[in-house]
Amino acid sequence: MVERAAMTTFWQRFFCHRLGNVGLVFLTICILAAVCAPLLTAFSAVDTNLAAVRQAPTYEHWLGTDELGRDIWSRLVYGARVSLLVGVASVVLSTTIGLGFGVVSGYLGGLADNILMRIVDGLLSLPSLVLVIALQALGNQGLISVVLVIACTTWMQTARLVRTEFLSVKQRPFVKAAAVAGASDWALVFRHTLPNCLASVVVLATLNVGHAIITEAALSFLGMGIPPHQPSWGNMLMGGQRSILAGAWWITMFPGLMIVATVLAVNFVGDAIRDALDPLRFYHGSTPKKTTKAAVTAGNEVN
């Protein structure tokens, strides 16, 4: 095992993570489907067809139709564009803002740190849904504004986490050792301190992807997100709520499954990235699993 870990690069460690691979394959399929949506769908995602309302899955409509007769499969595939974009773009944006804010705050320390963190505290104390709705009511609604609004309301946690991690890593001896070796401030921050903070930031970011997809769904439900005719998984979930009572489970079931599966896949990929970023965790994380499995089998044999 030492032998294996010794020679690994980031990508080799990444691909050693089985669930991470599963997640990556799933996300790749989702993204490909979203990009190639016109090739995969026979029906329009927005045109209503009142002759085929709330049809259960059939040969023609693979996943059935919704309360306005729109094909669920088509809406699911086109909805992937919106949901994945909102999830990924808003998290990339919020993590970037959070990283910048946290690093500046942790690096400067003192008064600047105090002021920056009180701003974060202030923003965190506002209920985020209220903030989202207020911001969304100000601007014109649409995909970009949803991304911006979600990013603007989630970066604070990342900032706080980055600052805390930064402060603790900054005190570790190897940063002092690098300073003694004559590393520049730039190298101390970006090569020694920040990479050692990233593991938990990556985990938070993957959790935020799920959060962003669900926030988009909530916004769409309240009529402040994506316009209702445009498909997104959140839109479909919320639009299909009343139909559940009519027995049309397929309208909400499939977008719900997609949200769950996507959030899970992103979390797996996040775990894989975290393990790959931290060679020590990779090494320790991959051995005990095997021993526990072996121990469990051994225990079973005894029983």
Partner 1 sequence: MFRHNQACLSVENLSVNINTQDGIVHPVKDVSFAIGQGRVLGLVGESGSGKSLTAKAILRLLTQNKNIEYNGRVIFEGQDLFKLSPASMRSLRGRRLGMVFQDPLAALNPVLTIGRQLRELFTAHTGCSGGEADKQSFAVLKKVGLLNQERICRQYPHQLSGGMRQRVCIALAIALKPSLIIADEPTTALDVTLQAQILAELKTLQQDYGAAILLISHDMGVIAELADDVAVMRHGTIVEYNDCFNLFDYPHHEYTKRLLLASSLTELADGARRYNDGPATA
133 is an interface residue for partner 1 by CB under 8 A: no
- Binding to partner 1 (CB under 8 A): which residues in 4-23? 5-7
Out of 12, 60, 96, 191, name the contact with partner 1 by CB under 8 A: 191
Q: Which is nearer to partner 1, 104 or 178 (CB)?
A: 178
241 is an interface residue for partner 1 by CB under 8 A: no
CB of 8 to partner 1, least distance (A): 9
| Residues composing the chain | 303
Q: Which is nearer to partner 1, 110 or 299 (CB)?
A: 110
CB of 29 to partner 1, least distance (A): 31
221 is an interface residue for partner 1 by CB under 8 A: no
CB of 166 to partner 1, least distance (A): 15
DSSP secondary structure, the chain, as one string: -HHHHHT--HHHHHHT-HHHHHHHHHHHHHHHHHHTHHHH-SS-SS---GGGTTPPS-SSSTT-B-TT--BHHHHHHHHHHHHHHHHHHHHHHHHHHHHHHHHHHHHH-HHHHHHHHHHHHHHHHS-HHHHHHHHHHHS--SHHHHHHHHHHHHHHHHHHHHHHHHHHHHTSHHHHHHHHTT--HHHIIIIIIGGGTHHHHHHHHHHHHHHHHHHHHHHHHTTSSS-TTS--HHHHHHHTHHHHHTT-THHHHHHHHHHHHHHHHHHHHHHHHHHHH-HHHHHHHHHHHHHHHHHHHHHHHH-
User: Which span (3-11, 144-152, 230-238, 262-270) binds partner 1, by CB under 8 A?
Assistant: 3-11
One-letter amino acid at 39 equals L
Number of residues lying near partner 1 (CB under 8 A): 27
Paired tokens of 110: 């003192």
26 is an interface residue for partner 1 by CB under 8 A: no
111 is an interface residue for partner 1 by CB under 8 A: no
195 is an interface residue for partner 1 by CB under 8 A: yes
192 is an interface residue for partner 1 by CB under 8 A: yes
196 is an interface residue for partner 1 by CB under 8 A: yes
Out of 183, 214, 218, 253, name the contact with partner 1 by CB under 8 A: 183
190 is an interface residue for partner 1 by CB under 8 A: no
User: Which span (69-77, 154-162, 177-185, 255-263) binds partner 1, by CB under 8 A?
Assistant: 177-185
- Rounded-to-integer distance, Cα 267 and Cα 57, Å: 30
176 is an interface residue for partner 1 by CB under 8 A: yes
User: Under 8 Å CB-to-CB from 245, ≥6 apart: which residues?
Assistant: none
Q: Which is nearer to partner 1, 53 or 167 (CB)?
A: 167
- Binding to partner 1 (CB under 8 A): which residues in 265-294? 277-280, 283
CB 133 within 8 Å of CB 224: yes
180 is an interface residue for partner 1 by CB under 8 A: yes
Contacts with partner 1 by CB under 8 A lie at 2, 5-7, 110, 172-174, 176-184, 187, 191-192, 195-196, 277-280, 283
